Chain A
């Protein structure tokens, strides 16, 4: 079974309880419609599992079929520089049909990011490198499409509809350990 490489570390964007027994990592593409569906259902699952879950997001833009995916990923990383990764992550997924650069800048305004800093950071090579590193690590980890999920470090290959994923995670939480 494919293993998450590198394991969760401090450069990851995480949400939830850092001590949680369940660590769910998504490799996603902001322009991928399936990732858009996953975004909504993960919000629900995060609410349902509360403190039992730590969620992390890594970039896996498929740039040939999704020409705005890399720029959207950079925009979220640029928001992270200003301490608002998740706000930007959310607004991008909520508007994933319109991800051209000027729309991304508008979303950045909406979440209260500094416009000049944002514009400069969209061209920051280090942020592009970060996105590419995520992609390459994803490949090494066995990511074969988006979204791909890793649960406690192992690739999850079963269906990820809300009910399936939730019951899988609940089983893990409730199993003796």
Chain B
């Protein structure tokens, strides 16, 4: 896991079949990154559907959400349509898992990302992280609390 206070590694990954997203595109906003093992798996589906309901709460805190797994862009596209997701899923597909490795969240035995949440501040610095046991959906209470603390620290 990346240490709190470090600069998060840049990325430029497919978010849809013909569009890429870079971390630097998101400067000026907080970024919630949800690394997750796999599209279509039951726990990941529940976790992402939950976050999909929370986008308005995240936006109130000037935070964007992105999901990242090693699935391909077409797999993400189908999954995203099926679950009506309104946030981008990025494909850490080629070379497989290279971003997850840079963020120190790759599970080489499974060939998947671990279930990890990062929150970056407006300058791309890691401010909060959480490693969830692989079989447990971490919910969103930790994210909301962390975003509120970031807001309070700034105003104090």
A and B: partners? yes
Q: Which of B10-18, B29-37, B42-50 lies on the face that meets chain A?
A: B42-50
Q: Which chain A residues border B83 with CB–CB below 8 Å?
A: 64-65
The interface size of chain B toward A, counting residues with CB under 8 Å, comes to: 19
Interface pair A65/B84, CB less than 8 Å apart: yes
Chain A positions 30-81 with a Cβ under 8 Å from a chain B Cβ: 62-65
Interface pair B46/A145, CB less than 8 Å apart: yes
Known contacts A62-B49, A64-B83, A144-B46: A139-B144 contact under CB 8 Å: yes
Which of B46, B53, B136, B144 has a CB less than 8 Å from the CB of A140? B144
Expressed in whole angstroms, the Cα–Cα distance for A65 and B50 within the complex equals 10
Residue of B nearest to A144 (CB): B139
How near does chain A come to B123, taking the closest CB pair, in angstroms?
27
Expressed in whole angstroms, the Cα–Cα distance for A143 and B53 within the complex equals 12
- The reply to whether the CB of A82 lies closer than 8 angstroms to some CB of chain B is no
Q: Which chain A residues border B141 with CB–CB below 8 Å?
A: 2, 139-142
Q: Which chain B residues border A167 with CB–CB below 8 Å?
A: none
**6 pairs from A and B in contact (CB 8 Å cutoff):** A2-B139, A63-B53, A64-B85, A65-B52, A142-B141, A144-B140
Residues of B within 8 A of A (CB): 46-47, 49-50, 52-54, 57, 83-86, 136-141, 144
